[in-house]
Structure 1
Amino acid sequence: MDQQGQSSSGSDDSHVVEMVQLANELRGKLDALNSHQAQLSGGRPPRPIDIGRVRDHTRNVDNDEYDPDHVAIGPYNYPRQHLAMEDDKVMSIHTVLTAAKALRPGVTVEVDDYINELACLEESVRNCYADAYVDMTSGQFVRMLLHDGCYILSRLVGLQLGAQPMADAAGTANAGVLSANRPVPLAVLRDVFYLAENQIPFFVLAKIGELTGLDGNDRVITQIAKYALDLIRGQKYAMAAPDMEPTVPGNLLHLLHMHLKPVAPTVSPAVAPANGVDPEPVRRWRSASEYYFAGVMFKRREMSETGHTRCILDVKLSSGSGTLEVPCLDIDAETWRLLRNLMELEQQNREKVGSHVTAYCVFMSQLACTTKDVELLTKRRVIVHGHGNNDEVAKCFADLCKGIVFDPNDAHCNYLRETCSKLEKRFLSNPQRWMAWLRRKYFNNPWLAVGLLAAVIGLVCAIVQAVYSVLSYKHG
């Protein structure tokens, strides 16, 4: 009995010791986490946007939409596969150093200064990515930041001797510009701007600009933002510059995302249930053909720099006429790449950037998911495309949001929730469907409309004649 008691007591003691060790281990991890968060908020550059890897179930739909074709940026594509651009990056460092000597006369600026400053940012930059990249040494990581940062800066910002005009959005170098800005292929710009994985934090560009004598964030942000506006305006996705005051872009893809926000979302920030009853849930959008047979008309909405239509997201439903006004989506070979990567940015930073682009893509992917829908929207000039046929466009729309996580009933994520609800009520209304059927059946053809009108007049005359006949017979 004593031996059994001692054995039981020893087991209890070991269990207590194990629990104490577990508590100490968790306490240490929590302390380390709190210390890390305090460091991020204590004077170091903020971590506004996460640069994560594209998820497998999204990438599997079309892997090529997420990989660079010409220039690799950031650690996700390290070691470099596009070696042809590495020589250009070394030349970009030389360009930046030359510009720094011209813009900061009397100040000795060497490559060591850039390396030391970027080394101080290394931990903050690593924290922007999904993993810490422990397989990359500090030297490799800082070299990558210097190469990529100088490459981007030398092509998107005018590194000038004096007050000369900056390089335009086509990458053409003007006189007096100390830059590697020669005509840059649009495919290279799309690698730098469009890809979610092919990014470095914007504060790295700001730091390099500050060391070069570009007055810190102001000039770097202003000139790159102008470049981005020219790019996205040329693609006809947006017409007006966003408000840059409250938010500094996290990276170049985020800068493009800032241009794509609806001017006046059709859903209020908080949808309160009426009379204590939850509103009817929104399950999905109908196709364009289904809405058309329910009497919904489609109209192209013109974009402008001012007003309420500044980007492709500004969709509006006219409450009286039942007309859905949609800005024209000009589809080219890169449209799907941009939209997919913007959605991936939102999937990983929903609390920071919202889900407006995802809501729009879900709307368009269900509106134009069949060949008949694409044909209808093309006739209404809501869609313009250069693909071989409408079948190809419809398939691209149908595959656009595969793997995307999105709740259409969340008013904070779905800015088109109220529009969808109104369209669903119209679709389920039998009188609206009957009136739409009459319009399609008879009033689209003027001869049928005249025949129907004549038949109605004849019917009325026959009824009047019958009434008079009955009355005359009754009264003799």
Structure 2
Amino acid sequence: MRPVTVDVGVPSANSRAEALAVVRDVFYLAENQIPFFVLQKIGELTALDGKDRVINEITEYALDLMRGQKYKEAAPAIMPPQPTVPGNLLHLLHMHLKPAPLSAPPAATGNDSDQVRRWRSATEYSFAGVKFKGLSMKEKGMRCILDVKLNGGGGTLEVPRLDIDNETWRLLRNLVELEQRNREAVGSHVTAYCVFMSQMACTTKDVELLSKRDVIVHGHGNNDEVAKCFADLCKGIQFDPDDPECNYLQETCSILEKRSRSSSRKWMHG
């Protein structure tokens, strides 16, 4: 029997926007997440090849969603040698955000004076001579927004450009919530990134500076609103910035802190 094709016409812009909002809700919301094994079971029951088809289509859609948000470019290592089945759809999005591995593990620091406890603001780093460079996801070697690195002898902080829209805060907060609840299973790298951005861009002047350097792109209308959203992003979370197991940016933060302290001493004694 030949399959019957039904022409439903071209959906309107409003219907497409509504459909996208529904899909985003299903993926983004921390509450009411559908366990991934339930989706697998639905696939098994709907068609002979349903399980594999459903998994492949959902996985590909999640990748397209993250690319559309400009949060990542390359596909993550979630396939062999050790396939990982996500717990739910939010976890699937989380699996697409993995920082590039460091060339060498951060050196352990037992000296309390080496502890930084928090990032300085972007304007403070700029005052200390640190330059900022925003990177597009299209640039060679870029994988996802977590790939923050120091170049130029520690003088230039390269940060993947964060395109901010109304969905950004909800997605980041829910990914952080996922890590807060399941740190041993999923890690805390999104939390580390959010702490980094929230403390770097917590004032209007910081947002203005990072916008000029193409680290942040937003359409909120004013920098005050963006700064407030960053300042509120990580409120109430548990996170140890001096623990390299918890904070993949710990070494970067330590290097910038030493540079800032050195600059302050030169300014005072210059």
TM-score (norm 1): 0.50
Native 8 Å contact 2:204 2:227 kept in 1: yes
| Residue 216 of structure 1: how far off its partner (Å) | 5.5
Residue 396 of structure 1 is matched in structure 2 by 229
2:144 counterpart of 1:311:
yes
Mapping of residues 431-450 of structure 1, within 5 Å: 434=267
2:177 counterpart of 1:340:
no
Percent identical: 72
2:89 counterpart of 1:252:
yes
Equivalent position SS for 2:53: helix
Residue 73 of structure 2 is matched in structure 1 by 239
Mapping of residues 61-460 of structure 1, within 5 Å: 183=16, 185-215=19-49, 217-245=51-79, 246-265=83-102, 268=105, 271-273=107-109, 280-304=114-138, 307=141, 309-320=142-153, 322-430=155-263, 434=267
Native 8 Å contact 2:134 2:158 kept in 1: yes
Q: Do the aligned partners of residues 228 and 237 (structure 1) sit closer, same or farther apart at CA in structure 2, a change above 3 Å counting?
A: same
Distance 1:226 1:200 in 2: 18
Equivalent position SS for 1:373: helix
Native 8 Å contact 2:154 2:255 kept in 1: no
Native 8 Å contact 2:161 2:217 kept in 1: yes
Larger RCO (CA within 8 A; separation ≥ 6): 2
Q: Do the aligned partners of residues 413 and 387 (structure 1) sit closer, same or farther apart at CA in structure 2, a change above 3 Å counting?
A: same
| Residue 379 of structure 1: how far off its partner (Å) | 0.5
Equivalent position SS for 1:396: helix
Native 8 Å contact 1:267 1:411 kept in 2: no
Mapping of residues 7-26 of structure 1, within 5 Å: none
Q: Do the aligned partners of residues 173 and 223 (structure 1) sit closer, same or farther apart at CA in structure 2, a change above 3 Å counting?
A: farther
| Residue 413 of structure 1: how far off its partner (Å) | 1.1
| Residue 195 of structure 1: how far off its partner (Å) | 0.5
Across the aligned residues of Structure 1 and Structure 2, the Cα RMSD in angstroms comes to 2.8
Q: Do the aligned partners of residues 325 and 192 (structure 1) sit closer, same or farther apart at CA in structure 2, a change above 3 Å counting?
A: same
* Structure 2 gaps, min length 5: 10-14
Counterpart of 1:189 in structure 2: which amino acid? V
Equivalent position SS for 1:326: strand
Counterpart of 1:261 in structure 2: which amino acid? K
Q: Do the aligned partners of residues 428 and 395 (structure 1) sit closer, same or farther apart at CA in structure 2, a change above 3 Å counting?
A: same
Q: Which has the higher helix share?
A: 1
Cα deviation digits, residues 342-361 of structure 1 (max 9, x gap):
00000001011100100000
Q: Do the aligned partners of residues 431 and 406 (structure 1) sit closer, same or farther apart at CA in structure 2, a change above 3 Å counting?
A: closer
* Structure 1 gaps, min length 5: 1-101, 103-160, 165-171, 175-181, 439-476
Equivalent position SS for 1:298: strand
Give structure 1 regions of 4+ aligned residues with deviation exceeding 4 angstroms. 276-279, 431-434
Native 8 Å contact 1:339 1:361 kept in 2: yes
Distance 1:383 1:412 in 2: 27
Native 8 Å contact 2:204 2:224 kept in 1: yes
How many residue pairs end up in the alignment?
A: 258
Whose radius of gyration is greater, 1 or 2? 1
TM-score (norm 2): 0.87
Equivalent position SS for 2:41: helix
Counterpart of 2:58 in structure 1: which amino acid? I
Q: Do the aligned partners of residues 215 and 324 (structure 1) sit closer, same or farther apart at CA in structure 2, a change above 3 Å counting?
A: same
Counterpart of 1:331 in structure 2: which amino acid? I
Cα deviation digits, residues 77-110 of structure 1 (max 9, x gap):
xxxxxxxxxxxxxxxxxxxxxxxxx9xxxxxxxx
| Residue 363 of structure 1: how far off its partner (Å) | 0.2
| Residue 232 of structure 1: how far off its partner (Å) | 1.3
Native 8 Å contact 1:265 1:416 kept in 2: no
| Residue 222 of structure 1: how far off its partner (Å) | 1.2
Distance 1:283 1:419 in 2: 13
Equivalent position SS for 1:429: helix
Native 8 Å contact 1:240 1:304 kept in 2: no
Residue 64 of structure 1 is matched in structure 2 by none
Q: Do the aligned partners of residues 357 and 265 (structure 1) sit closer, same or farther apart at CA in structure 2, a change above 3 Å counting?
A: farther
| Residue 321 of structure 1: how far off its partner (Å) | 5.4
